[in-house]
Structure 1
Amino acid sequence: MADTAVQRETVLSLRETIARIENRRLPGVVRAAKAADPGGFRQREEDEPGRKALALGVPDLDDLLEGGLPLEGMTEIRNAETRDAGAAAGFAAALSVLCQRARLEKGEPAAPVLWISQSMASTEAGMPYGLGLKAFGLDVRGLVFSLPRTIKDALWIAEAALSVPSFCAVILEIRGNPAALALSESRRLHVRSRAGHVPLLLLRQSGHEEASSAFFRFLVEPAPARERPLPDGSMLRGSIGHPVFHVIAEKSRAPAPLGFFLEWNPHDRRLYPVEPLPAAAAADPESAHSVARLSASSGRSGRAQALGELVAFPRAS
């Protein structure tokens, strides 16, 4: 019986530890804590002040995030393949723009965005382009870019930046699932982010799902853009509109992953929910100006030649 009680207590302790790391509550554990502390000398989790969040303007997504993007803590953004790195980086940049705008709307002094890109990640997917980020809505005058060589250097820079309230957001871009960024390092970054009141966006390039201390984790994929609207309300056929992201909430309090199609408008600096395009329209959109892809060669017609008769030759061996 004693061995059974010890095992039960060990399992309960592990559950409490996991719940604290994932920042969630276990009703049975909370009741046990109250019973163990009848005098109320310890601060319980439900007595702690609520975390600050930035509403993203998408009601369903804000409800899932319990108010919006956490402004004190870590949020993980990943893409499954290297070719989708641009979409994940674009979504992280859009969240950074919202953080910049929120400070200005509150009347707080402007603060830069720190983008830390480990050299292997920037080598595989390229570095952020200033003019592109400016067109995307980010104030590049308030952007600090760091290019450390190793993962340990990137983690050191991130921890140092989160220790001082000098940035409105910190983006940490890494490649894959390095051993130097395990659960313990993730927990340390999360605690530093909460203590420094600076949101941390962990941008994991071509990474897999793994244990993390982040409040939420998103899988970001590119989605077909809509056509550009005209002043009369019609759409310009064959045009390319604002970027669209397929965002899947992999880690949240929802019982199953939820997906959203979000369009980023760099002029309004807002995210808008959109409906997914039909598969046929997304796969082969019809161009407004149908022309030959290649000009005809000199002295030849531009059309494909019809096949002649097929002759079956006997096999040589």
Structure 2
Amino acid sequence: MAKEALARERLFALRETIARMEGRPLSPLDDAGTPLAPGGQEEAAGTRPPERLPLGVPLVDEALSGGLPAAGMAEIRTAELRDAGASTGLALSLCAFLARQAEGTGADPAFLFIGERKVALEAGEPFAPGLADHGLGLRRLFHAAPRRLEEALWLAEAALSSRAFRAVVLEIAGNPRRFGLGESRRLSLRARHAGSLLLLLRQGGGEEAGSTLFRLEASPSRSGHYRLPDGRMLGGTIGAPGFAVRVEKASHPALSSLPQAIAFEWIAHERLFALPDASLPPVRNPAGPAHPGARLPAPADRPDRAQALGAVLAFSRAS
């Protein structure tokens, strides 16, 4: 009996350590030491999971255990830097979604976007009129462009500590050595303590271990034509922006049954996510060159091509 009690005590200590490292609440145990299912008995204070906001995309909400967490750190990455527009658009869509959820509560949430100079050179910076069309009010978004990664990390931590922002977007390029598991853990704890959401944008980087609640790989998805109020499609137009998201990290068993990528759209004027209409015809790119035409004639009276180099070296003349 003493050995069994000691083993149970060690097992409980190990479970508590793992739960603390993962940043999740420790589920209560029954008399036999088996974890209780949610709702099986009354939960102890502080053991309930953080509040989740459903995004309206069933597959994504199921993988994220109910939706977007109200507090904590989440990661959105792109495999290539040229896809930075998809991850940035998704992050700003999530900010606009949070702003919509706060309507009617008397709160006026603010958001901070900490940009990366290298990404700005390749993909550009946030454009104010475009942000307004995207559903995010300009008076709610603050933009910062620190010169070094250390300054960006300090700014993100200070912004979270101030509790002045509903969400902070931190953009980094690739997998820098100066942003490892220790820095990720520090920011995650700061976000949880402040009750804010920290969105890490890893532009053009690979999968990396971090203290995040979930990790999504974002890529652009094709959009249909603009739908008129009467249901007809307006040819030659571009509809709602689309995203293709692959869930790389989540704490839900349904993750194993998800498809490779989940496509959904952002409806800017309503500030909500929606699945693309399956009845819409796909937008096909025209085959052939973009500007077909006759080729230029070969130039005449030009110098002859250079003679091929020989394979034998003339040692007598080279010396």
- TM-score bracket relative to the smaller structure: 0.7 to 0.9
- The 3-state SS of whatever aligns with 2:103 is helix
Identity, in percent, stands at 42
Change (3 A) 1:255 1:12: farther
8 Å Cα contact 1:261/1:275 also seen in 2: no
| 1:162-241 to 2 correspondences below 5 Å | 162-241=160-239
- The 3-state SS of whatever aligns with 1:202 is strand
Aligned equivalents of 1:32, 1:148: Cα separation in 2: 54
Query: What letter corresponds to residue 265 of structure 2 in structure 1?
Result: E
Could you say which residue in structure 2 is the equivalent of 1:267? 269
8 Å Cα contact 2:57/2:274 also seen in 1: yes
TM-score, normalised by the number of residues in structure 2: 0.76
- Show CA shifts across 1:132-184 (max 9, x none): 11111111111111111111110100011111221111000010111111111
Aligned equivalents of 2:217, 2:26: Cα separation in 1: 26
Aligned equivalents of 1:132, 1:186: Cα separation in 2: 31
Asked if residue 150 in structure 1 is aligned to residue 148 in structure 2, the reply is yes
Could you say which residue in structure 1 is the equivalent of 2:305? none
8 Å Cα contact 2:240/2:266 also seen in 1: yes
- The 3-state SS of whatever aligns with 1:105 is coil
Aligned equivalents of 1:212, 1:32: Cα separation in 2: 34
TM-score, normalised by the number of residues in structure 1: 0.76
8 Å Cα contact 1:56/1:271 also seen in 2: yes
Aligned equivalents of 1:132, 1:66: Cα separation in 2: 32
8 Å Cα contact 1:85/1:206 also seen in 2: yes
8 Å Cα contact 2:25/2:49 also seen in 1: no
Query: What letter corresponds to residue 104 of structure 1 in structure 2?
Result: E
* Structure 2, unaligned runs of 5 or more: 1-8, 35-42, 297-307, 311-319
How many Å apart are 1:217 and its aligned residue? Answer: 0.5
* Structure 1, unaligned runs of 5 or more: 1-8, 36-43, 287-291, 296-301, 306-315
Q: Which of 213-222 and 95-104 deviates more?
A: 95-104
Aligned equivalents of 1:150, 1:14: Cα separation in 2: 39
Aligned equivalents of 1:10, 1:207: Cα separation in 2: 39
Q: Which of 146-155 and 226-235 deviates more?
A: 226-235
Change (3 A) 1:86 1:276: farther
Asked if residue 21 in structure 1 is aligned to residue 21 in structure 2, the reply is yes
Could you say which residue in structure 2 is the equivalent of 1:312? none
Aligned equivalents of 1:184, 1:242: Cα separation in 2: 39
Could you say which residue in structure 1 is the equivalent of 2:93? 94
Change (3 A) 1:184 1:293: closer
Aligned equivalents of 1:146, 1:32: Cα separation in 2: 53
How many Å apart are 1:34 and its aligned residue? Answer: 6.0
RMSD: 3.7
- Show CA shifts across 1:202-259 (max 9, x none): 0110111011111010000001101111233222233211110001111012443653
Query: What letter corresponds to residue 285 of structure 2 in structure 1?
Result: D
Query: What letter corresponds to residue 197 of structure 2 in structure 1?
Result: P
Aligned equivalents of 1:33, 1:186: Cα separation in 2: 36
Aligned equivalents of 1:143, 1:255: Cα separation in 2: 33
Q: Which of 218-227 and 57-66 deviates more?
A: 57-66
- The 3-state SS of whatever aligns with 1:261 is strand
Query: What letter corresponds to residue 72 of structure 2 in structure 1?
Result: G
8 Å Cα contact 2:25/2:47 also seen in 1: no
How many Å apart are 1:53 and its aligned residue? Answer: 1.9
Change (3 A) 1:249 1:193: same
Aligned equivalents of 1:51, 1:245: Cα separation in 2: 26
Change (3 A) 1:276 1:157: farther
